[in-house]
Every structure is written in structure tokens, then in C-alpha cells.
Structure 1
Amino acid sequence: MTETQTQFITTTEALAGLCARLANEEFITVDTEFMREKTYYPELCLVQLAGTDDVAVVDAMAPGLDLAPLGELLARPEPVKVFHACRQDVEIFLLLFGAVPANLFDTQVAAMVAGFGDQVGYDSLVQALTGGHIDKTHRFSDWSARPLSKAQIEYAAADVTHLRVVYEKLSARLRVEGRMDWVAQEMAVLAEPGTYRVEPARAWERLKIRTNNRRQLALMQAIAAWREREAQRINIPRGRLLKDEQIPEVAALAPADAETLTRVRGISAGFANGKSGVSLLAAIAAAKTLPEGELPRVERPRDTPRASPALVSLLKVLLGAAAEQNNVAPRLVASGEEIEALALDETAPNPILEGWRREMFGEDALRLIRGEIALSTKGKRIKIVELKE
């Protein structure tokens, strides 16, 4: 594979021929190069593809190039489409073609199932499984600038050539261990279009909001939703409109006019009087008129049930032991929030109690909560002790 000459694709005809050949493969490896510093939506610059005899870098910005053959290839149930840390790549294809690529396989997720740690980097995985080395020289290239150098093209191609060997070794290892079904369950989440969509109404959830004032919370929610919609409309990063720390400042001031809006640090008169400023003021005005009954509920810490910190700690010890025994990244099995939820209410729906997670960790977690087992040590390892009634 390393000796295969890289094709640089700039025409629809060449892309169609490449995709026709790749359609007959058992699996293909896929990667992208894009720019997002100045836009809300990623600007696709290159698509890298590799099969048994083909290694290609597609210039997505080439004049007159129609990416439809690529969309058709990605939509086919076969071959398997292999990515590493695929979320941003898949988001791009969802935007371009209106669908998530079919039959996804993410080697970062697979590596976590195979015990390579939490969110293992591509460079580390290549080195561990192939002994190869990724040249980082062009990692911070401006991929939108043309012409591209031969070195840039070869750098981009290396991402998908090494990935073939990584996939083959990972999948073989997981089949021997009987864990391909585990990976398939994780891929189901990545195959869901909703995984990649940001709903403006929920944009406030990414903020660190601390307030007991329901009206203030409603204003911050409205401002965050406005920022997301406006960033999408004019295709600029959300932080170019308002920074996260400005949102509570705007909400506290609750401006009714452009002059008052400019009192917020960092907001210019040009912005306040422009189209974006006018629409922001309208969103604030609407939030001000919400009836009391429609204001969001503020959960006070004293009103929120909390799990026993000691029980949560015990469950985390059990998780670490289970992950160590099964050679799986603990973070893939359960998050801290999921463990706290289980400690609080073991009858509530929880990913820990589904599929392979329940088999590996969930059942013992329930037994620990019910007092049916205890934890002890044997040598330098944690062991489960059965408790007799």
C-alpha cells in the first residue's frame, strides 16, 4: 500500500472512476481535510480515500468538480467505510449529502474497545499497530490554499494508507475477542444523524450557567439560541457573534435598544445597530414577555437528590477493575454522570444496564448496590467477594 502512487483527483470523471473501483472493495478508508476557523460549517477542502490498489486525494475545491459519485459510494451498504475519530468527517458528509455514510467503522472507538485507552490518538494507534510514524509537518496547513504542494498531498494520503492496516489489525483482534458486536453497538450512535445536529433551543446546555433567577435563565437560553441560529444563518463561528462569557452579561443587562446593548463589553455600535443586533434585541424582548408559567425551572442544589459519594466511589472502583480485567477503556463503559445516576436510582434507564456494558459491568454494579457482593484486593488487583445471606 505504501508503494501505491497517490492519485490527485480534480475532475468529476476521475472521481466517478475511482468510486466505481472502490465500490467493489470489502472496506475503504476515508478521511477529510477542512477549514473551520472562519465559518460555522466546516469548509471541505480534501477527501482522502484508499482501497486495495487505490490511494486518492480528492480536491473538493476543484472548479467544476461534482462530488455526487462520492455521495453515492458513501451511501452504499458495502463496502465498510473506515474512519478514525469520525464525528467531524461524518458531519461534513451529512451536510453535503443529507445522510450519514452507511456501514461506518471508527477505529478510535474500536481501539477503546480493544483496550488502547480513552480516545487514543491516530499517531499513537498507527505506531502501536503498524510500527509506522506519521509525519506531522503539514498538520497545520491551510488546506484551502491552492496550489497544494506534493508534500501536502502525500501527507494527506498517509492518513488513509496507514488506516487500512490499523483497521485490519484491530478488526482481527476484536473478532478473536468476540467484541465486534460491541463496536457495532457504538457505531449505531454514530450512524444516527441527530448525533451531529445542534438544536439552537438546546445551545444553552453547553454553557456554564449559574443562576437561581428563572427570568435570567430564560434570557440566557434565548440569547444562546439566537446566537446558534444567527451563526448558522451567516455561517460564522458562534464566538464571532457573542463569546460565551458575554451571554450572561447581555442577559443581566436585558437591553431594549441598540445603545444599551453597546454597554456590554466587546459589543460595538456597528453590531448593535446592524441586522444581527436587531434580531438579538428581538430575541431578548420575546424572552422578557414570557409568562411566569413558561419560564424554565431552576433546580436548586438542595432540591436535587444526590447519590451517596461513597457508593459512587465504590462503583468507580468496580468499573476500573472490570475495565482492567476486560482490557477496555473505562470511559467507554460508563461516564461519571451515568455512575452517579445508577447509584441514585438503579431502576432508571441507564446505558450501563444495556448490551455489552450490562454484561461486563452493569450486573455486578447492581449486585454491589444491593449488597450482594463486596470488593477486596488480591495482590495488586481488585476482586469481587460474594456475600452470603
Structure 2
Amino acid sequence: MTLITTTDHLAAFIDRLKGADYVTVDTEFMREKTYWPQLCLVQIGGPEEAAAIDPLAPGIDLAPLFELMRDERTLKVFHAARQDIEIFFHLTGSIPKPLFDTQVAAMVCGFGDQVGYETLITKLTPARIDKSSRFTDWSHRPLTERQLTYALSDVTHLRPAYEKIRRRLVKTGREHWLEEEMAILTDPATYRLEPEDAWRRLKVRTEKPRFLAILKEVAAWREREAQRKDIPRNRILRDEALVEIAAHAPTNVEDLARTRGLGGGMANGRQGTELLQAVSAALAIPDKELPRPAPRVETPQGLGPIVELLRVLLKMVSDENEVAARLIANASDLELIAADDDADVPTLKGWRREVFGEAALKLKHGRLALAVTGKKVKLVELPG
């Protein structure tokens, strides 16, 4: 069992990986008490060996690891990579590249939506994974042998699984199907937590511009405060309190203190002062500069049956092509296609149009029909 706790040991391990076509990567982290994920362990699987790297070891410098993540000669293979990438992006300001996500690839290869690691490994390898250590405290030291065994299994079994998925992608010619999903994963904008955009994550019932302006300012304040203190945003102030402040627009300490969940202590302190400043800034914004909600796309009434037919077609196409339905189209896409032949949706572009979009338009216009033969649904071309 290899646990790396020194910079020299890490540098030697990374040096042995140079020239590898690919490495498998996973992380263990904690986030319950912090804003930023606390990296507790990094597992790397190479052609000949695998190791767990302890970022919490005293004096260790992770520079050799980060160098590997930036090395474009070696592919980095993750499963469900988004949170792992967020960690590396926060620590280094860059995204590991080149990158391959076996969860995304599995969707293309017919393993279903967002297939879990254990399920994928069970289907592709003879291994059986003991997940009993999954929810342990990875920040506690020393790590047990059982924890390390579990952690390393996440990269050792991923190697044969990746190779089988890769061969299947090449055989079916679907490598380019991954490009759009991978483009999202490798876009730095996916991982930038800009305080000015924090308000968009909140669910609200009103779309009044002045309300949204106040909500934007106070949500940005909370985000900056949470980042500065490195604690979860709801530990600063809950969502409900932000919405209440935006609705009532308090301009003095007494009014602010009436906010449920805030209280006089916070209202009278530094944070209360800064919240009132945020409200004041929002109230001073000219009407023409107020934030506006994204325009809603209203679908005409009476399209429900068409959407349901498209849903059946999607299920059929998904099964026939062994690709996750969610990767082809979502419910909103189907509604927009039902309303508009030229809807600006991915489903009507590229490979998605080839496998589903064209058939969807034909079905919509009566040039294609769905029929049941035995226990199967089939497509019937109609004259037109």
C-alpha cells in the first residue's frame, strides 16, 4: 500500500509516470464545514503502480502533482470529474488536460444516465468494490489500511474500465459525441464562483427588477464573506433571509434586525452594516440598469400530445443506439422542438440531429409514425 507523504517521494513517483499514455485520477475531500473543498487525498493510477498522495502531510509540496495535471502528453482519466476538477482549478487556477471522464463516456456507450463508479466497474470488470469507507472522515490522520485500499481501488479498477470504454467509442465512431459534454467540463467558467452571479442560484417567486437588484447585491456580499471565511454560505446567512431582505429592502438596523434568522447581534455588527450598504447600493441603481430575469420561452398550448410522442421516440432512439436519453435531449428540448422546427437546441445539431432530431421533426409533421409490433415500438415512414 503506497501512501506518499513527502515531496521527494512524490517527485520520484511523478517522474516514473512520465511518458505514460494516461493516468487515472481520483480525490477524497471534505466540504461540510468549508466553502472551498478541503483536499484530503489524491489517488493516481499509472501503468505499473498506483499511489495515494497525502496533501495534509506536514511540509509536502504538491508542485510535482500539479505539473502532471498540466502535462498535455499524458491523458488524465477521471470518473464523474466535475468536483475533482473544481479542486484542482481552485488550487492551481487551471484545469487538468487533456481530460477524459468515464461517466460521460458511459452515457454515450449505453450505461445509463450518470452511472456510478461501482456500477460501471461491476459491468466492465470482475472486481467488486467495498464501499464501506466511502463516507469516512478523510481529514482524520492516520488513514487506515482499509481507507487506503478503498481509495486506491478508485483508480486501479478504472484503468481496465477506461480501456474497454475507449475501445467501444472507437468501434462505434462516437468519440466526437463526447466533445460537447467535455467542453463544459474543461471550461474554466464552469468552476469560477463569481459572487456577482450567486443570486442566480436562488429560487424566487417574484421577478421584479428592484427586488432582483437587492437580491444580487446581498447574495454577492454573502458569497464574498463565505469565501473570505472559508465556511459554507448558509453558515453566513440562509437563502430565506436573503430573499426576505430583498423583499423588504431594510434601510436601518432596526428593520434589518427583523429579518428572520438574522437577529440584532448581526444587524448591529460589521456584517449588518455591510448588508445595509449592499441594500443601499441596489436601491441607487437606475431603473434602466436593473437586472432582468431571463426571458421565458412560452410554448403554445395544445402541444402536450406532441411532446409525449417525442418522448416515446427519444426513449426508442436511446435504447436502439445504446446512449443515455439525457445526452440526446431533455424535457425542455422536446417542448421547444414541438413548438419550433428551428429551435436553438443541441438536439437539432450535429450527431444528435442525426440520431434523433430529424426523426423528431418528421414525426411532428406526420411523415413518420410510431407503431407497436408485439412488444416493440417501431418507426413507420409515411408518404408525404
TM-score of the pair, normalised by structure 2: 0.93
Q: Please tell me the residue identity of whatever aligns with 1:193.
A: P
Structure 2 contact 184–190 (Cα < 8 Å) conserved: yes
**Matching residue within 255, 262, 269 for 2:257:** 262
Change (3 A) 1:106 1:212: closer
Find the residue that maps to 2:77 and give its secondary structure: strand
Contact 2:299 2:336 in 1 (8 A): no
Deviates more, 1:224-233 or 1:86-95: 224-233
> For residues 233 and 341 of structure 1, what CA distance do their matches in structure 2 show?
42
2:253 and 2:267 in contact (8 A); partners too: yes
Give 1:65-104 correspondences, 5 Å limit.
Answer: 65-104=60-99
2:185 counterpart of 1:190: yes
Q: Does 1:179 align with 2:197?
A: no
Q: Does 1:34 align with 2:29?
A: yes
What residue identity is the alignment partner of 2:268?
A: N
- Look up the match of 1:207: 202
| One of 219, 222, 232 as aligned partner of 1:224 | 219
Structure 1 residues 181-214: Cα deviation after superposition (integer angstroms, max 9, x where no partner): 2224422221111122233333222222111533
Alignment partner of 1:329 out of 315, 324, 329:
324
1:288 to 283, 286, 306: 283
Q: 1:205 to 1:372 in 2, by over 3 A?
A: farther
Structure 1 contact 93–101 (Cα < 8 Å) conserved = yes
Question: 1:110: how far off?
Answer: 1.1
How far off is 1:84 after superposition? 0.6
- Label 1:79 to 1:262 Cα distance change in 2 as closer, same or farther (>3 A): same
**Gaps in structure 1 of 5+ consecutive residues:** 1-5
Q: Aligned runs of 1:124-139 on 2, under 5 Å?
A: 124-139=119-134
Say which SS state the counterpart of residue 2 (structure 2) adopts: strand
Sort the Cα spacing of 1:312 and 1:228 in 2 relative to 1 into closer, same or farther, 3 A: farther
Q: 1:300 offset after TM fit, Å?
A: 9.2
1:385 aligns with 2:380: yes
Tell me, in whole angstroms, the C-alpha distance in 1 between the residues paired with 2:298 and 2:213. 20
Q: How many residues align?
A: 383
Structure 2 CA distance for aligned equivalents of residues 305 and 320 of structure 1: 22
Q: Which moved more, 1:200-209 or 1:154-163?
A: 200-209
Preserved CA contact (<8 Å) 2:371 2:378: yes
Alignment check: 8 A CA contact 2:369 2:380 kept? yes
Q: 1:273, CA displacement in angstroms? A: 2.9
- Give the aligned partner of residue 349 of structure 1: 344
- Distance across 2 between alignment mates of 1:232 and 1:312: 43
2:47 equivalent in structure 1: 52
CA spacing shift, 1:299–1:155, aligned 2, 3 Å: closer
2:33 is the counterpart of 1:62: no
Matches within 5 A, 1:240-251: 240-251=235-246
Deviation at 1:19, TM superposition (A): 1.1
Counterpart of 1:41 in structure 2: which amino acid?
A: W
Shift of 1:91: 0.6
Report the 3-state secondary structure (helix = DSSP H, G, I; strand = E; otherwise coil) of the residue aligned with 1:56.
strand
Partner of 2:229: 234
Q: What is the alpha-carbon distance in structure 2 between the residues aligned to residue 38 and residue 273 of structure 1?
A: 26
1:146, CA displacement in angstroms?
A: 1.6
Deviation string 1:14-45 (CA, Å, 9 cap, x unpaired) is 11111112122121110001111111111111
Aligned-pair CA distance for 1:292: 2.3
Q: Runs of at least 4 residues of structure 1 off by over 3 A? A: 296-301, 303-307
Where does the alignment leave 5 or more consecutive residues of structure 2 unmatched?
Answer: none
The one-letter code of the counterpart of 1:292 is: D
- 1:105 aligns to what SS in structure 2? strand
What letter is aligned with 1:155? Y
CA distance in 2, matches of 1:299, 1:157: 45
Secondary structure of the corresponding residue to residue 245 of structure 1:
helix
Equivalent residue of 2:342, what SS? coil
Name the counterpart of 1:313.
308
C-alpha distance in structure 2 between counterparts of 1:35 and 1:100, whole Å? 20
> TM-score, normalising length from structure 1?
0.92
Please report how far the alpha carbon of residue 305 of structure 1 lies from its aligned counterpart in structure 2 after TM superposition. Answer: 4.5
Q: Is the 8 A contact 2:207 2:292 kept in 1?
A: no
